[in-house]
Each structure stands twice: as C-alpha cells, then as structure tokens.
C-alpha cells in the first residue's frame, strides 16, 4: 500500500480536526453538570436559585458547546477532504517485474540485431555501387584512350605514310616520262621508289606494333627530317634550304621529335602539292627555353580561313597542342605561305 503523503496545510487541518473531535468526545463523555460548581455554593444561595435552575442551564450550555464543536469538526472534515481532492494525483510507478525486464532486454537485442543487419546491407550496397562506378569510370577512360589512340593513328597515317605514298606517286609520273628518253635515269628512280616503298612498309609495321618510325629510331632527328623532306621533293625541281640546330635536335625527347617531324612533313607536302612551290626554307632552332620550327615557301599561297581539310591544318594544330605550343600560318593567295611552330624546350634525360 502506498503511504499517504500530506502537505503542511493538510496536517494542520487534520490536527485541528483531531483536537476538536477529542474535545467533543470529552464533552459528551463527562457530564459537566454533575460536577457543576452550583453544588458547592452556600445553602442560602442554592436555596435562593431553586432546585431545578442549575441542571437546566448546564445542560443547555453543554448542548451549545457540543453543537459548535460538531459544526467545527464537520467544517474541518470537509476542508480536509477538499484539500485531498485538490492534491495532484501521483503517477503509478512502472512495474519492474522480472518478466517485463526480460521482455525489454529481448526487444533491445532484436533492435540491435536489426540495426547491425541494416548496417551490413547498406555497406554491401555502397561497395556494389562503388565497384560499379569504378568499372564505369574505367570503361570510360579506356574508351577515351582508344578514341585518342585512333585519332593519333589517323594523324600519323595522314602526315607520315600518306605523304610517303604521295611522293612515290609523283616519282611514278616522273619515271613514266623518262622511260623512253633516259632509261638509265628511270631505272635509278625506280630503285629509289622501291626503297621508299620498303621504308613506308617498315613505318606501317612500326605503327602497328606501337613504335616510332624506324628511320627516326635509327638516325637522329636531324637526319630523319632531312631524309623526309628530300624524299618529298625528290621528283621536283625544288630548291630546299634546311637549317637545323643539331644541339636542339639531339635533345628533343622522342615524343616531341615525332610530332615536330610530322608537322614539318605536312607543311612541306602542302607547299609542294597545293602551293607548287619552287623554293622551300625550313629552320629549326631555339630561343631561350622555346623551340621554333619555321617552314616558308614561294608557292601559290592560300587563305588560311578558307583552307580545306586537304591542308591538314587541323592535324598540325592538334600536334602543336600536344607539344604544349602554338601553330600559326600566314599566307596570302599568290604570295606563298609561312608556318611557325613554337613549343617549350624539354631536353630528353637520355640526351647529352
């Protein structure tokens, strides 16, 4: 049983009620008129009051006092009940039986297991998503790499192999005119064409296996450039002026050497095919930490803004961008053309 808790005011009212009830009990239990002081009065006074006056007064007084005490007790009882009703009810204390404790522990254990399972599932989903993203990124990188390699191969074939085949085709036209008039010279040109075709075949093999052209690996950059330019102009009465800084050429890394060689071949081929130039000047040098390649001709010239895809300007600009440099073409119809390539000089670590 929960003990009764009383406020100080409730205690005071209860104490007053106890006192009033005690007084009322005493008043009702002990008749005051039996021990009234009227019986101790002198006989003369008692005789004067009469035999029935004093008991009647005592009884009336006792009744009035009993009524007052009973009324006060009733008021105090009502006040005590009212105070107990106004007292806020106490919340029942939760039950802490062993059965309920085991139920709560079991619920907590199941909740913990559910959280662990959900965490493991989320971790597995994150791993699967991460692997999928990595696979997609790898596939995208491989696709971009394959596309870039395809573009590079197209540039190499256009600027290297096609130019060599074009030079061989020009030689065929020249040999056709020499067969009847100068057969010895025609035989010599045929031998040159055969050697050129064999070199082109080697270059094709080198591209297939992902290597640089053989002539660039066997010889230095200067010799490879001279051989490429001479091969292009071998069937023309074209004056070639080739000035190469051998120190710069020897220090070019293979990547820069290949890109520079292809740009030079494309520029000379354009001067011969489209410009029909009779004089071509090619210079390779250095200005501080920059390499400079210039190809100038006295050909027919053209409008760079309206140049078609046959000039290969897009390929040359792409190669210049890979070198980290810039390519500018200056030309006016009827006044020849000048190509300038400027790129950072990055000496090869193996060159000395």
In this predicted model, what pLDDT tens digit does every residue of 133-183 receive, in sequence order? Answer: 887 887 777 677 667 767 766 766 666 677 777 777 777 877 887 888 888
Residues 260 and 284: beta-carbon distance below 8 Å: yes
- Give every CB contact of residue 342 below 8 A, 6+ residues apart in sequence: 290, 291, 292, 293, 325, 326
Residue 341 clears pLDDT 90, i.e. is over it: yes
Strands 239-244 and 279-287: parallel
Angle separating helix axes 183-208 and 162-178, nearest 10 degrees: 170
pLDDT at 101: 75
The lowest-confidence range among 25-29, 60-64, 208-212 is 208-212
66-67-69-75 Cα dihedral, nearest 10 degrees: 160
pLDDT-derived band at 27, boundaries 50, 70, 90: low
pTM: 0.46
Q: Could you tell me which CATH number the domain at 138-344 has?
A: 3.30.565.10
Question: Each residue of 65-81: b (16+ CB within 10 Å) or e?
Answer: eeeebeebbeebeebbe
The SS3 assignment for 284 reads strand
Structure token pair of residue 338:
């000048």
Residues 273 and 279: beta-carbon distance below 8 Å: no
Domain boundaries, the chain: 1-27+58-86, 138-344
pLDDT at 209: 47
Residues 41 and 16: beta-carbon distance below 8 Å: no
What is the total residue count of the chain? 352
- For the chain, where are the E strands, in sequence order? 239-244, 279-287, 290-297, 326-331, 337-344
pLDDT at 295: 96
Alpha helices, H only, 211-312: 214-218, 221-232, 246-251, 254-273
Strand partners, 338: 296, 330
């Amino acid at each position: 049983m929960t003990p009764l808790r009383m406020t100080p005011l409730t205690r005071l009212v209860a104490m007053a009620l106890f006192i009033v009830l005690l007084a009322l009990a005493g008043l009702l239990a002990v008749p005051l008129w039996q021990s009234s002081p009227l019986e101790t009065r002198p006989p003369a006074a008692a005789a004067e009051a009469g035999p029935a006056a004093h008991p009647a007064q005592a009884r009336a007084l006792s009744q009035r006092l009993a009524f007052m005490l009973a009324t006060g007790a009733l008021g105090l009882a009502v006040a005590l009940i009212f105070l107990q009703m106004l007292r806020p009810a106490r919340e029942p204390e939760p039950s802490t039986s062993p059965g309920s404790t085991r139920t709560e522990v079991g619920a907590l254990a199941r909740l913990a297991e559910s959280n662990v399972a959900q965490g493991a599932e989320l971790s597995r989903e994150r791993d699967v998503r991460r692997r999928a993203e990595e696979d997609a990124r790898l596939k995208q990188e491989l696709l971009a790499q394959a596309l870039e390699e395809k573009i590079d191969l197209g540039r190499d074939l256009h600027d290297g192999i096609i130019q060599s085949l074009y030079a061989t085709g020009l030689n065929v036209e020249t040999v056709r005119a020499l067969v009847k008039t100068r057969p010895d010279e025609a035989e010599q040109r045929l031998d040159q064409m055969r050697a050129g075709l064999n070199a082109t075949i080697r270059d094709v093999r080198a591209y297939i296996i992902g290597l640089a052209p053989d002539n660039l690996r066997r010889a230095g950059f200067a010799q490879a450039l001279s051989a490429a330019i001479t091969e292009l102009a071998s069937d023309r009465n074209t004056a070639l002026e080739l000035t190469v800084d051998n120190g710069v050429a020897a220090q070019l890394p293979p990547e820069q050497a290949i890109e520079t060689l292809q740009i030079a071949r494309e520029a000379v081929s354009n001067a011969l095919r489209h410009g029909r130039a009779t004089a071509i000047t090619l210079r390779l040098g250095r200005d501080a930490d920059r390499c400079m390649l210039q190809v100038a001709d006295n050909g027919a010239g053209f409008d760079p803004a309206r140049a078609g895809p046959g000039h290969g300007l897009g390929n040359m600009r792409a190669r210049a961008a890979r070198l980290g440099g810039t390519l500018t073409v200056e030309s006016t119809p009827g006044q020849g053309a000048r190509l300038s390539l400027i790129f950072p000089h990055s000496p090869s670590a193996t060159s000395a």
